[in-house]
């Protein structure tokens, strides 16, 4: 196998999703600990302490204890090169989660064992299903009082609509959490607490071992034997093909904080996941093992670091090898470009990289030329990767600057944040950008907008809620919206390309517009 092939073969790229507080950051930290990327547990985070997660870099995240932006972390473990893509935990940012999932080959869903499937997880999970990628479940916090594991399985299946296969099974919970039973090896992994650091003492014993009772106690031992019998009779068969298509989720139990079950999870997960997968393009599937480089932009973020004041485009490499200073063809821009300052990001710490391979994510300096979904490939090629859809905004605010002298900064700020894909901006016909109508998928994005305009662009804004919930672009070329017959609560606006669209407060008004304007064609998505 060539060097290129073996590098790509060892790549694993996955996104990690969860409801806020389920333990995503703690689990990520433990992965990094195993990979030797950090030396001590607790160095990644401690939201209530002065330290904060390396993956939480925005002030607002620290204040609210939520992850708004997603970051990328890379580490090596047992010959694998692993890329973890962190996602915002809040459902208001599910569009961002979706884009991150586009860059991943699989997803890990972290669930709090005492809470089960939570509201946010539901929405994020639906986004996951849209991508048809393998989903692994880690049921966390088994060191606390947990819900019955059978109930948890049942809930995941009925609420999320995915089948489950418990790869391991918990032995007790809370103070009695002793470890997990590995169903495939038919072996018990019992843990001894050690303050959550890397080395957790574990003992491996077979289920039939006569010494088991003294290890687990009679009650837990009996429960485990009964559970295993029930599971073997009742749970779904393990079917790798179904796992690969996101129809069956392998489930693992553990406790990220105490480091119980994290290593067995990581090991099985790495074995069950694949190297980078082929990606669909306008010229058929692109094989990741191909020599020639290709990538697509899945995220753009301005001012990640106030000191740098720059804009970074994150791209997922889909094939071949990337080298620093390499010349590539930017398909949508129709130009050859040099990717300057390629970086790998460990949140705030940036490291200039010399090379990267299919499966990796790199951040490059963006002078304002990239859009989400853009393709980069080797000069001489011209294909485009499948686009990244935009979600239709469901909430609208009228936004203007408090101080009219700050117009320039205001326009720059809203335009840049809109280019990142965090918000969509519109304006009333025949008016400029003094005042914009901002559409978002989740209302928290308004707060982020307000915060970022103030902190990054020094502009204070006035926001006014608008009652619209639905957005439709007018598809008819040259149609003059004034001629349309619409309900009084329907609003005509224009997007940044001056295309006309309608904002509706309810479905009824959409139907009304269609019924009263023959030939009117409306679309939920903008065509780029």
Binding footprint of ligand G4P on the chain (CB under 6 A): 18, 20-26, 45-48, 89, 140-141, 143-144, 255-257
SS3 (DSSP) at 440 = strand
Q: Which is nearer to ligand G4P, 255 or 424 (CB)?
A: 255
CB of 355 to ligand G4P, least distance (A): 31
Q: Which is nearer to ligand G4P, 170 or 363 (CB)?
A: 170
Q: Which is nearer to ligand G4P, 122 or 144 (CB)?
A: 144
Mode of pairing for the β-strands spanning 311-319 and 361-365: antiparallel
In whole angstroms, give the CA distance from residue 52 to residue 483.
Answer: 56
CB of 112 to ligand G4P, least distance (A): 8
Q: Which is nearer to ligand G4P, 190 or 399 (CB)?
A: 190
327-330 β-sheet, strand order = 335-338, 327-330, 375-377, 294-302, 311-319, 361-365, 343-346, 349-352
CB of 371 to ligand G4P, least distance (A): 30
Q: Which residue shows structure tokens 């049942």?
A: 154
Q: Which is nearer to ligand G4P, 262 or 376 (CB)?
A: 262
CB of 255 to ligand G4P, least distance (A): 4
DSSP secondary-structure letter at 405? G
CB of 61 to ligand G4P, least distance (A): 10
Structure tokens at 521: 């064609």
Q: Which is nearer to ligand G4P, 64 or 244 (CB)?
A: 64
CB of 172 to ligand G4P, least distance (A): 14
395-401 β-sheet, strand order = 461-466, 395-401, 435-440, 424-427, 491-495, 500-504, 470-474, 522-523
Q: Which is nearer to ligand G4P, 143 or 366 (CB)?
A: 143
201-206 β-sheet, strand order = 168-171, 179-182, 187-192, 201-206
CB of 21 to ligand G4P, least distance (A): 4
Q: Which is nearer to ligand G4P, 67 or 281 (CB)?
A: 67
SS3 (DSSP) at 132 = coil
Positive or negative: CA dihedral 68, 73, 78, 80? positive
In whole angstroms, give the CA distance from residue 100 to residue 104.
Answer: 7
Q: Which residues on neighbouring strands pair with residue 138, listed in sequence order?
A: 110, 252
In whole angstroms, give the CA distance from residue 118 to residue 408.
Answer: 42
Structure tokens at 110: 């972290």
Q: CA angle at residue 369 from 365 to 374, to 5 degrees?
A: 95
Structure tokens at 122: 């539901």
Structure tokens at 270: 């790495």
Which residues, 6 or more positions from 152, have their beta carbon under 8 angstroms from its beta carbon?
111, 113, 116, 139, 146
Q: Which is nearer to ligand G4P, 148 or 282 (CB)?
A: 148
CB of 471 to ligand G4P, least distance (A): 31
In whole angstroms, give the CA distance from residue 175 to residue 289.
Answer: 48
Q: Which is nearer to ligand G4P, 21 or 227 (CB)?
A: 21
Q: Which is nearer to ligand G4P, 144 or 412 (CB)?
A: 144
CB of 170 to ligand G4P, least distance (A): 12
Classify residue 373 as exposed, middle or buried by CB count within 10 Å of its CB (0-12, 13-18, 19+): buried
CB of 383 to ligand G4P, least distance (A): 37
Q: Which is nearer to ligand G4P, 29 or 495 (CB)?
A: 29
In whole angstroms, give the CA distance from residue 291 to residue 356.
Answer: 13
Cα–Cα distances in Å, from 276 out to 5, 375, 467? 11, 17, 44
CB of 77 to ligand G4P, least distance (A): 19
CB of 105 to ligand G4P, least distance (A): 21
């Amino acid at each position: 196998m060539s060097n290129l092939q073996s590098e790509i073969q060892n790549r694993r790229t996955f996104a990690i999703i969860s409801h806020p507080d389920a333990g995503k950051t703690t689990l990520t930290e433990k992965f990094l600990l195993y990979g030797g990327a950090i030396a001590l547990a607790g160095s990644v985070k401690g939201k209530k302490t002065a330290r904060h997660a390396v993956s939480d870099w925005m002030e607002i995240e620290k204040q609210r204890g939520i992850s708004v932006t997603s970051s990328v972390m890379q580490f090596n473990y047992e010959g694998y090169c692993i890329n973890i893509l962190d996602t915002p935990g809040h459902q208001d940012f599910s569009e961002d989660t979706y884009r991150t999932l586009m860059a991943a080959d699989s997803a890990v869903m972290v669930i709090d064992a005492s809470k089960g499937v939570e509201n946010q997880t539901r929405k994020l999970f639906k986004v996951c299903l849209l991508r048809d990628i393998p989903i692994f479940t880690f049921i966390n916090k088994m060191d606390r009082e947990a819900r019955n594991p059978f109930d948890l399985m049942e809930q995941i299946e009925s609420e999320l609509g995915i089948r489950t296969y418990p790869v391991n099974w918990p032995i007790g919970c809370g103070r009695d959490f002793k470890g997990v039973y590995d169903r495939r090896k038919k072996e018990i992994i019992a843990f001894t607490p050690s303050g959550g650091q890397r080395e957790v003492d574990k003992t491996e014993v077979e289920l039939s071992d006569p010494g088991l009772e003294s290890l687990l106690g009679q009650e837990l031992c009996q429960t485990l034997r009964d559970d295993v019998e029930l599971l073997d009779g009742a749970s779904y068969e393990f079917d790798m093909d179904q796992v690969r298509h996101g129809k069956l989720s392998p489930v693992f139990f553990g406790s990220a904080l105490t480091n119980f079950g994290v290593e067995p999870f990581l090991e099985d997960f790495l074995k069950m996941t694949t190297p980078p997968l082929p990606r669909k393009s306008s010229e058929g599937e692109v094989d990741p093992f191909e020599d020639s480089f290709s990538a697509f932009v899945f995220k753009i973020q301005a001012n990640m670091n106030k000191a740098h004041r720059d804009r970074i485009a994150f791209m997922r490499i889909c094939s071949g090898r990337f080298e620093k200073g390499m010349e590539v063809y930017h398909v949508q821009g129709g130009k050859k470009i040099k990717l300057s300052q390629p970086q790998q990001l460990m949140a705030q710490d940036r490291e200039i990289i010399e090379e990267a391979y299919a499966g990796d994510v790199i951040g490059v300096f963006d002078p304002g030329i990239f859009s989400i979904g853009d393709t980069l490939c080797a000069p001489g090629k011209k294909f485009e990767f499948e686009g990244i859809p935009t979600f239709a905004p469901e909430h609208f605010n009228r936004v203007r600057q408090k101080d009219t002298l700050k117009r320039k900064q205001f326009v720059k700020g809203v335009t840049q944040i809109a280019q990142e894909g965090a918000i969509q901006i519109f304006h009333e016909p025949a008016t400029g950008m003094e005042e914009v109508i901002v559409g978002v998928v989740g209302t928290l994005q308004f707060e982020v907008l307000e915060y970022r305009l103030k902190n990054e662009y020094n502009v204070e804004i006035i926001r006014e809620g608008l009652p619209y919930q639905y957005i439709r672009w007018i598809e008819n070329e040259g149609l003059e919206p004034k001629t349309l017959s619409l309900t009084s609560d329907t609003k005509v606006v224009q997007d940044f390309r001056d295309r006309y669209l309608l904002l509706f407060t309810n479905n009824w008004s959409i139907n009304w517009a269609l019924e009263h304007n023959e030939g009117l064609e409306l679309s939920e998505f903008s065509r780029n």
